[in-house]
Each structure stands twice: as C-alpha cells, then as structure tokens.
Amino acid sequence: MAKQYEFPSKGLPYLLVLPQMIVVVLFFFWPSIQAVWQSFFLQDPFGGRVLFVGFENYANLFMDKSYAASFLTSTVFAVAVAMSALVIALFLAVQANRKIAGATFYKTMLIWPYAVATLIAGVLWLFMFNPNVGVIAWVLQRKLGVNWNYLLDSNQAFLLITLAASWKQVAYNFVFFLAGLQSVPATLLEAAAIDGAGPAKRFWTIVFPFLSPTTFYLLVMNLVYGFFETFPIVHQVTAGGPGKATEILVYKVWRDGVINLDLGGSSAQSVILMFLVIALTVFQFRFIERRVTY
Amino acid sequence: MTEHSPIRRFLPHLWLWIAIVVIVFPIWLVFVASTRTNLEILSAPMSVLPGSHFLENYFRVLTEGGHALGESAWMMMKNSLIMALGISVGKIVVSLLAAFALVFFDFRFRKAIFWSIFVTLMLPVEVRIMPTYKVISDLHMLNSYWGLILPMIVSATAVFLFRQFFLSVPREMAEASQIDGATPMQFFGEILVPMTRTPIAAMFVIQFIYGWNQYLWPLLITTKEKYYTLLIGINRMLAGADVEIEWQIVMATVLLAMVPPIIVVIVMQKQFVAGMTETEK
C-alpha cells in the first residue's frame, strides 16, 4: 500500500486530540484507577479513617451469598432480555421486509420506540401493572383471578422488568436486522425458490447466515444493555425488590455506594464489572476484526 | 415471493399490527391518564378513553408542576434540553477534532491515543459511578450543567464513525489544499466538515437521544431541584405511596419527556438508521 498523504505538522495534532484526551483521562481513566485503588481500602462512611485491606473487599464479595445471587439474577435477566428482544425483533424485521402494502409505515412505527428513555419504559409498564391503579393489573386481578402484586411476588417483579426492558430494546434490534435483511441479495433467494426451497428453508439456509454478523453484534450489545443499562427500570419499578429478587449488579453497585456508603465494596464491584465489560469488548472486537479481514 | 395464498399475504400485517398495539397501548394509557383527574385514575380501573382535563393538567404541569416537586416541567424540559444539546454537540465537536488528527496526521502516540479512546467504547457510566462522582465533586461541578454534560462526552462511537468516514476521503484533496496554501485547519473547516454533513447529522440524532435519556448520572449529581431533568423529576414525583402520587401530573410529564426524542427520530429517521448501522462496522 502506498503511503497516504499526511499533513506535515508538529504541534497541531496534539492540540486536536487534547479535548478528547482531557475528557477521557478525567472522566474515564482517572475514575477507573480510583475504583481500583479504593477497592483495596476500607472506608469509614463518615469520612474519617481509611484502612488498607488488600483484597479483603474482593474476598468479602466472593464469599457474600447476596453478591452471588445478584450475579445470577443479572445473568438470567440479561439473557432473558437479550433473547426475547432479539427473537421478536428478527421476527418483526422479516415481516416488515416483505413487499407488503404500508411497509414504510410499519417500519417507522417499530423504530421510534428507540427514542423512549429506559426510565420511561419502566414507568409505562409500572403504570399498566401497578397493583393499585394499573389497568392491566386490574384485568389480571378482577377478570382473570391472578393474584397480581409485583411488589410482593418476586417472580412477577422479575417478569415485569424483563418485559419492560425487552419492550424498549426490540426497536434497536429491529433497525439492525432490517438493515441486514436488505443486504441479502434477492437473486439468491429467487434462485433458491425456483429450486424448490420453501420459505423456512430459504430463511435458515440463506437469510440467517447473512444475518449472523449482525446477530452476533446485537447479542453482545443486548447483553451489555441487559447487564448495565437497565438500571433505570430496576430503580424505578422494583427498587431491587421484593427483598433482593431483582437486585441486578449495577443496582447493587449503586445501592452499596450511594445508599450504604460502602465505598470499598462498591469500588470492588465496579472493578469486577469493568473486567466484564472489557471482556465483552475484546470478544466483540476480535470478531469484528476477523470479519473485516475476510 | 413465490407464495401467494391469501393467508400468507395477510399474516405479516397481523403480526405487525399486534406489535404496534403492544408498542402504542402503554403510551396511549399514559396519554389518557394525563387527561383525567387523579380521582378517576385512583378509582381503578381507569377508563381507556381520554378525559376532559387535558388543558388543565398540562397547563399546571408546565407552569407549576406537581405538589411533590417545586419545579415546573418547563424548567425541567429546559434542563433536559441543555443536557441533551451539550452532550450531543460536545461529543461531535470533540470527536471530529480527534478523528481529524488520527486520520490526517502522523504523530507519536497516535496508536496509543487511538487505543485509549477505543477502550472507552462500551464502558457505561453505570460501572464507575462512585469514582466519577468523586471527580465531579472535587471539580465542584455537582449541581451544574458542566457536571451533567462533561463526563458524558466520552464517546468512542463518534470518533470511530468520523474516522471511518475520513478514511474514505481521497488524500489528494488534503494534498491539493496544502499546495494551494490552505492550512490544515482551513482544510478541516472549509472542506472536510462540510463533506461530513451526513455522518454528523446521524451522530446528532443518536447522541441527542442518548443525552436526553440519561438517568443515572443526573440522579447522582443533581440534588437541587433547579437542575432536575424531566426524568429525575418523574422519578421524584413517583416516590411515596401509590395513593399520594399525582398520577395525572406524572403522566403528563412522562408524555412531555417522550415527545422531543421521538420527533427527532421520526423526522430524521433516514440519517438515524444510517448512523446506527454504520457505527457497527
């Protein structure tokens, strides 16, 4: 490859990246280092004494049954949200990608929920299912005889936040699946149809392989969403309850740090979460890189 | 494509309409609640048809707000808008400059800088809450617009999108501008940025929505009602027992919080979809 033209300039490039680097260092690297640093200390919540405890905060976490439980809750939650949002979005994208009347209208109607804040998604579902004022809750209680009260029943609480979180995420996945579907060559599908492949066979042997990079990308993004970005829903709808039934990891970090003022413990949790995200990022990137070199 | 039976043709419509109903119904309920009195909502079940208190409720929400909160939705809307614009415009400017340097200049540490931006790609603020809070507190930026905006400006996505686009710009253009005596910054401002209109528009839509919908960060650093965004206001108004909540006021605020980003997405749908699927690469 011939050498690309580059501007001859000594100081300018540094000046150009300076704002970005200031923000990255100040609000990313510095806090991350702080998190690692603080995770080795035990801090008096009233700001007095600080005690170096080494890996004790981590040891405490790994022995803490409620942390293991929170890990499990998060994983089940993230996987449930990712799976339902992916399957529903793929199904709807396939429907909307057909040559049907009103396809543009359908697409718009399925895309715009992306703009709805995660918190709002939580409020919408809270309002429908609130045991005292919710319209759907009323139908469940009075018409269907379900003993509906997600504030007391942990399975119901878990179901409700999963529905609210998936409801919002479908639009995001839909955008990507639709773009992916449009890149499938129509001639290939026609040829397969002429050879006698039915719609199901065409989907699994031609369309789905075409979509696999998109699906993989979305899977990682959906897991990140489920693990980390669903804090507003949990905070608003269940507050981690009833008991600790819906206490996902980010909610626990927040509660231990902000409410219980356990800085060391909260920092240790942050560090573990950071490793989790970095692992997901590296995983994602290796995959993308391989795809690019194809 | 080769299937033409009536049922096969009808089914997609049925599925898509079911999806639309599931999407729209909760929002419809919010709208209905925002046109009714609290008494009508509390004596469940609320009717699913709009009531007659639309103007009254929205007027109150916009001018004085709920009793539980001393701020009007108008104030909170202003705060949400400042935060959303600050984050989106800030990200775009900072990322354009960085991408320009990374693509068009050869300098020491280029690789290191690229990687240091890259690792921020997916790390959400949720996982480093307390230390970031401490930085902002040390900088005396709690309860300020700077505090709401600056930590959210870290964005690898925008840098990558612009970098991607810049890489596709023919280098002869840069060389030619240099021969014509233009400085690199003139090339940037007069040629490169105007060429980047479409990616910039796409990024704006995505980041505006991102900024408008921020929740955890403002929740942490705003304790003065003066700086509440709409989402924080909604959360505060929903605190307390179900019967004490002014549901009609909350729901009107919810609707106000939903409308601006939805309008942005619908109006700029094309740029938005292109921007989303471009950043994937």
- List chain B residues with CB under 8 Å of A5: 171-172, 174-175
- Please indicate whether, in this complex, the C-beta atoms of A138 and B269 are within 8 angstroms of each other: no
- Please indicate whether, in this complex, the C-beta atoms of B277 and A176 are within 8 angstroms of each other: yes
pLDDT, one tens digit for every residue, chain A (294 residues):
445 777 877 788 888 889 989 988 888 888 888 888 888 877 766 666 677 877 888 888 888 888 888 999 999 999 999 999 999 999 999 888 887 888 888 888 888 888 999 999 999 999 999 988 888 888 888 888 888 888 888 899 999 999 999 999 999 999 999 988 888 888 888 888 888 888 888 888 888 888 888 888 888 889 989 988 899 999 999 888 788 888 898 898 888 888 887 777 888 888 888 888 888 877 777 766 555 433
Q: Is A255 on the interface with B (CB under 8 A)?
A: no
What is the reported pLDDT for A294?
Answer: 34
Tokens of B204: 């704006």
- Please indicate whether, in this complex, the C-beta atoms of A12 and B101 are within 8 angstroms of each other: yes
Give the number of C-alpha atoms closer than 13 A to the C-alpha of residue A208, restricted to the C-beta side: 10
In this structure, what are the phi and psi dihedrals at residue A43, rounded to the nearest 5 degrees? Answer: -115, 135
- Please indicate whether, in this complex, the C-beta atoms of B19 and A92 are within 8 angstroms of each other: yes
CA dihedral for A127, A131, A132, A137, sign (positive or negative) = positive
Report the predicted TM-score, pTM, of the whole model to 2 decimal places. 0.87
- Please indicate whether, in this complex, the C-beta atoms of B184 and A95 are within 8 angstroms of each other: no
Contacts of B227 (CB under 8 A, 6+ apart): B79, B143, B144, B145, B148, B218
Residue A172's CATH number: 1.10.3720.10
Tokens of A73: 């809750």
Cα B259 → chain centroid:
12
B36 neighbors B51 (Cβ within 8 angstroms)? yes
The residue to which tokens 């995770």 are assigned: A39
Does residue A214 lie within any of the structural domains?
A: yes
Closest chain A residue to B101 measured between Cα atoms? A13
Give the C-alpha separation, B17 to A109, whole Å: 10
- How far is A32 from chain B, CA to nearest CA, in Å? 7
Does residue A154 lie within any of the structural domains?
A: yes
More reliable by pLDDT, B22 or A36: B22
Give the C-alpha separation, A26 to B238, whole Å: 34
Q: Is A214 on the interface with B (CB under 8 A)?
A: yes
Q: Which of A28, A189, A231 sits opposite B126 (nearest CB)?
A: A231
In this structure, what are the phi and psi dihedrals at residue A142, rounded to the nearest 5 degrees? Answer: -90, -30
Tokens of B87: 């984050």
Does residue A192 lie within any of the structural domains?
A: yes
Give the C-alpha separation, A75 to A77, whole Å: 5
Does residue A86 lie within any of the structural domains?
A: yes
Contacts of A202 (CB under 8 A, 6+ apart): A189, A192, A193
The answer for B240, left when phi > 0, alpha when psi is -120 to 50, beta otherwise, is left
Q: Which residues of A, range 233-252, sit inside 8 Å of B by Cβ?
A: 235-236, 250
Does residue A142 lie within any of the structural domains?
A: yes
Give the C-alpha separation, A55 to B130, whole Å: 19
Contacts of A280 (CB under 8 A, 6+ apart): A220, A223, A224, B122
Give the number of C-alpha atoms closer than 13 A to the C-alpha of residue A65, restricted to the C-beta side: 1
**Integer distance in angstroms from the first to the last C-alpha of chain A?**
18
| Cis bond before residue A242 (omega within 30° of 0) | yes
pLDDT tens figures, B66-110: 777 777 888 899 999 999 999 999 999 999 999 999 888 888 888
- List chain B residues with CB under 8 Å of A253: 126-127, 129-130
Question: Could you give the number of structural domains in chain A?
Answer: 1
ipTM: 0.88
Does residue A61 lie within any of the structural domains?
A: yes
Question: What residues form DSSP beta bridges with A51?
Answer: A42
Closest chain B residue to A183 measured between Cα atoms? B277
- Please indicate whether, in this complex, the C-beta atoms of A98 and B12 are within 8 angstroms of each other: yes
Q: Which of A12, A135, A231 sits opposite B48 (nearest CB)?
A: A135
Q: Is A217 on the interface with B (CB under 8 A)?
A: yes
Give the C-alpha separation, B15 to B17, whole Å: 5
- List chain B residues with CB under 8 Å of A134: 44
Give the C-alpha separation, A194 to A197, whole Å: 7
Task: Name which of B220, B16, B184 is nearest B97 in CA terms.
Answer: B184
Does residue A30 lie within any of the structural domains?
A: no
CATH architecture, domain B75-279: Orthogonal Bundle (1.10)
Helix (H) or strand (E) holding B164: helix B156-167
Amino acid symbol at B207: Q
pLDDT band, residue B37 (cuts 50/70/90): confident
The residue to which tokens 């609290």 are assigned: B38
Tokens of B44: 């469940």
Give the C-alpha separation, A32 to A19, whole Å: 19
Q: How many CB atoms lie within 10 A of CB A25?
A: 14
Q: Which residue out of B10, B24, B25, B127 would a mutagenesis test of the A interface target, given it has the greatest number of A Cβ atoms within 10 Å?
A: B127
Q: Is A219 on the interface with B (CB under 8 A)?
A: no
Residue pairs spanning A and B at CB distance below 8 A: 286
Does residue A44 lie within any of the structural domains?
A: no
Could you tell me the CA-to-CA distances from A38 to A23, A264, A266, A272 in Å, in that order? 21, 5, 9, 13
A108 neighbors B266 (Cβ within 8 angstroms)? yes
Q: Which of A112, A116, A167 sits opposite B266 (nearest CB)?
A: A112
- Please indicate whether, in this complex, the C-beta atoms of A134 and B44 are within 8 angstroms of each other: yes
Task: Name which of B209, B41, B203, B89 is nearest A168 in CA terms.
Answer: B209
The domain of A144 spans: 50-293
